[in-house]
Amino acid sequence: MLTRKASVFLHATFHTQTVVGNLKLNKMKNTIIALFYLFSLSSCGQSTSKIDFSDVAKNKVDSLFSAYDDLSSPGYAIGISKNGKTLYKNGYGSANLDYKIPIEPNSAFSIASVSKQFTAACIAILILENRITLDTPASDFIPELKKYPDTILIKHLIYNTSGITDYPRLERTGGKSWITFNYFDINECIATSLSEDKLQFKPGENWDYCNVNFMLLTKIVEKISNQTFAEFAKQRLFEPLGMNNTLINDDITQVIERRVTPYNHRTKEYINDYEEYGIKLRKDGEYIQHPRNSPHYGGSGVVTTIEDLLIWSDNMVSKNFGGEPFYNLMHKTIKFNHDRDNQAFGLYIGDFKGRKIVAWDGGDWGISSQLLRFSDQGVAIIVLSNLGSGEAFRKVNGIADILIDEKIID
């Protein structure tokens, strides 16, 4: 198991098990688009129609989570769908160990880097409205970027090839660490990264995972829309889709219904890692409770549920929201002057046992998440955990193997 020190900020490490891998609109046009999205609301919701999912398949899936199927440990929530129909959803373990509250499919999880596809989706909406293009200079909206000799385009941010140094690799002003126990916000993260006088490389020349790329994308959304990013995402993306239990957590004091509490194992390894980040812990007990006290977003910050992520995944089959143009843009890959060409809009394209997958995973202190789709088969598998070492991607792989064995995935 990787230590948190080794893995906490490397959310986009692509695991080998899953990866082999029109311009400004006038007011009338914006009104038409808004009406289209509102009209779509009635048809974007998750289907409740039944599809055969045998007891054998359910038992096999449940067995993957047997060690967490009680209220004495953190756990998981899962969802599986095919062609817009929910096959199975369930919860295992405790959402809060203080009160022994069970995890359910409507429990609200922070999903770490799985959030990036929603940031990218907001940019996709603006592109499809011809308010920006992939080749628009990001400095048109972020003047601080003009200091760099090489122009950073919006596509360089989306595809992690900007050359900007990500904030966790740099020292914080004041000396505190970037651990999410400590308060820091998106503005501090961006200011820290842009305090560097030079880019790591010329934009487009290398691929380098960077949360600040996606934080800057939220600033672009805010400049264009004259809304906070949370307001834009809610009004233009989540509500039209019917994702009514999904939000951008940009305020740590916000009350969120059914929110789970994140945990890590209270092992010597974890205790040592926390101490390296300036947090001293007692050794007794089985779990470390880790509230997220830093309301940064863009690269993370989405709180959502299995049920809402099933709606999101099912729209990738029905294309009711946004139609084919939205779908195609979300899955668009671009070849830059580096070897990685499988990234799309907060998604990566890969291979699982000879089958095309589209996915992204997330991990942070007390959080593990993955949303994976077999796009040709119309299957989505979602696993969320409130355990930092939950390795959601491994559970997704296990479910995928079961679905293949049960002929649910061809």
Q: What is the mean pLDDT of the chain?
A: 89
The pLDDT of residue 10: 39
Q: Write down the pTM of the prediction.
A: 0.88
For residue 112, CA distances in Å to 10, 24, 305, 370 come to 11, 33, 13, 9
Q: Which two tokens stand for residue 91?
A: 């919860």
Q: Is the pLDDT of residue 200 over 80?
A: yes
Residues making up the chain, counted from first to last: 410
Q: 346 by DSSP, 3-state: which?
A: coil
Sheet strand arrangement including 367-374: 85-92, 76-82, 379-385, 367-374, 355-364, 348-352
Q: Is the pLDDT of residue 48 over 50?
A: no
With 0-12 CB in 10 A as exposed, 13-18 as middle and 19+ as buried, what is 305?
A: buried
Tell me the per-residue pLDDT of 162-180, one tens digit each, with 9 for 90 and over.
999 999 999 999 889 999 9
Q: Which two tokens stand for residue 99?
A: 């009160």
The pLDDT of residue 46: 36
| Strand bridging mode 109-110 / 247-248 | unpaired
Q: Which domains does the chain show, CATH number per domain?
A: 4-405 (3.40.710.10)
What value does the mean pLDDT take over residues 25-34? 36
Q: Which two tokens stand for residue 80?
A: 């599986």
The pLDDT of residue 42: 35
CA distance 363 to 400: 20
Tell me the per-residue pLDDT of 317-356, one tens digit each, with 9 for 90 and over.
999 999 999 999 999 999 999 999 999 999 999 999 999 9
Give me the torsion for CA of 87, 409, 83, 386, rounded to 10°: 50
Q: 27 by DSSP, 3-state: which?
A: helix
